[in-house]
């Protein structure tokens, strides 16, 4: 049984951070750990920065308060050697503050953190707007070195992180530094803590299906919504819905998932991908490109060749093939339900369970 300080993410109603507020503490407590949640203020902007995962200003207000809280814990003698700190977002300036206090006060603690994205991903906001500027790359490198256990949801994310941030030539790595880090659990491939998802979506299973195709992603350049909208003009027999443009509640979104036959992706950035898993849970066929995290996560029937949507120009070249694939999915929806459930089971066992994280907390 361990003492765990959980440095959480601010809850956004339309994101999984809302569920993580209650699920992650419960997960840790069920393992027998003593858990203290370190939150920020509740009066931060609730709206996300357009196209982003969080509000770029509000998230820093939230994180700054968290740093104050756990700094006071150190000064008040509430942190002991061997305690664990879990940051549910590795892009947190407080990691440096924590390492500073831990080492200078001689109170060694274990730091765990979940990596979602960063400048090392050219399609992420940091990658697009800031790129490889020294300040951001050195910051991310410092985070990585400060963290004892760096968690990633997919091998694709690990490879991108190692190549673009750490400068590794993975073709030559073999039994090199990456293998050593994995052995030491410095780099850990674990599923995200989303064991609750199947139960959450139970009410939306077996709903009457409609000829609906969903775009459940953020409306951002790397998600290529323009391809989806172009397809809608040439296949008007189906209803095409861009979820983020509808200002849906969580319940309304889940109802749409339950009614949809297909969940579509042409994403250029995806280090995990949650919405296509949600769709599969409620019997919607996912159609995803054979690239990014999808390559290791998707069964063959539900992937299409990456080159079909590598850009809008590539899509126009392969448009007939894309249309044929979508029509296949819509017409074969009922016939592929058994295979779809095999897909769900594979995702649940390997990508939406936090066993890899929990095993490092002793």
Q: What is the pLDDT of residue 176?
A: 86
Is residue 355 a contact partner of residue 190, using CB atoms and an 8 Å limit? yes
Alpha-carbon radius of gyration of the chain: 21
Rounded to 5 degrees, φ, ψ at 299 are -70, 155
Q: What is the pLDDT of residue 231?
A: 98
Read out DSSP for 261-301?
SEEE---S--SS-SHHHHHHHTTPEEEEESSTTHHHHS-GG
Collapsing DSSP to helix, strand or coil, 195 comes out as coil
Determine what percent of the chain is predicted with pLDDT higher than 90.
80
pLDDT of 250-300, one tens digit each? 899 999 999 999 999 999 999 999 999 999 999 999 999 999 999 999 999
- In angstroms, the CA 212 to CA 358 distance is 38
For residue 90, what are its two tokens?
């590795």
Q: What is the pLDDT of residue 138?
A: 97
Tell me which residue of 76, 48, 78 sits closest to 62, measured CA to CA. 48
DSSP, res 246: G
pLDDT of 210-220, one tens digit each? 999 999 998 98
pTM above 0.75, yes or no: yes
Query: What is the set of domains in the chain, with CATH numbers?
Result: 3-195+353-358 (3.40.50), 197-350 (3.40.50.2000)
Q: What is the pLDDT of residue 49?
A: 57
Q: What is the pLDDT of residue 303?
A: 97
Q: What is the pLDDT of residue 174?
A: 63
* Residue 11 predicted with pLDDT over 90: no
pLDDT of 312-352, one tens digit each? 999 999 999 999 999 999 999 999 999 999 999 999 999 99
Tell me which residue of 87, 192, 70 sits closest to 148, measured CA to CA. 87
pLDDT of 129-164, one tens digit each? 899 999 999 999 999 999 999 999 999 999 999 999
CB-based contacts of 30: which residues, under 8 Å, 6+ apart?
Answer: none
């Amino acid at each position: 049984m361990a003492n765990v300080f959980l440095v959480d993410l601010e809850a956004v109603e339309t994101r999984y951070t809302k569920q993580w507020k209650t699920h992650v503490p419960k997960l840790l407590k069920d393992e027998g750990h003593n858990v203290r949640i370190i939150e920020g203020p509740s009066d931060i902007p609730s709206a996300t920065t357009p196209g982003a995962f969080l509000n770029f200003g509000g998230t820093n207000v939230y994180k700054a308060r968290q740093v104050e809280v756990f700094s006071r814990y150190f000064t008040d003698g509430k942190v002991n050697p061997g305690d664990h700190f879990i940051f549910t977002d590795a892009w947190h300036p407080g990691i440096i503050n924590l390492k500073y206090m831990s080492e200078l006060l001689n109170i060694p603690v274990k730091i765990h953190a979940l990596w979602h994205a960063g400048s090392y991903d050219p399609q992420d906001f940091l990658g697009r707007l800031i790129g490889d500027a020294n300040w951001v790359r050195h910051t991310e490198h410092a985070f990585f070195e400060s963290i004892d256990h760096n968690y990633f949801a997919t091998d694709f994310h690990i490879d991108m992180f190692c190549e673009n941030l750490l400068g590794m030539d993975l073709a030559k790595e073999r039994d090199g530094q990456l293998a050593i880090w994995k052995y030491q659990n410095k780099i850990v491939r674990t599923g995200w803590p989303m064991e609750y998802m199947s139960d959450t979506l139970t009410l939306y299973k077996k709903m009457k299906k409609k000829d609906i195709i969903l775009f459940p992603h953020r409306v951002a350049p790397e998600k290529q919504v323009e391809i989806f909208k172009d397809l809608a003009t040439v296949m008007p027999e189906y209803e095409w819905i861009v979820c983020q443009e509808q200002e849906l509640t969580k319940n309304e979104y889940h109802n749409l998932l339950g009614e949809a036959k297909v969940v579509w992706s042409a994403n250029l950035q995806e280090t995990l991908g949650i919405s296509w898993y949600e769709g599969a849970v409620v019997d919607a066929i996912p159609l995803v490109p054979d690239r990014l995290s999808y390559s290791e996560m998707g069964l063959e029937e539900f992937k299409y060749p990456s080159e079909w949507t590598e850009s809008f120009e590539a899509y126009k070249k392969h448009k007939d093939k894309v249309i044929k694939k979508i029509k296949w999915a819509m017409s074969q929806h009922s016939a592929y339900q058994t295979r779809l459930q095999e897909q769900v089971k594979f995702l649940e066992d390997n990508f939406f369970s936090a066993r890899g994280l929990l095993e490092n907390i002793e």
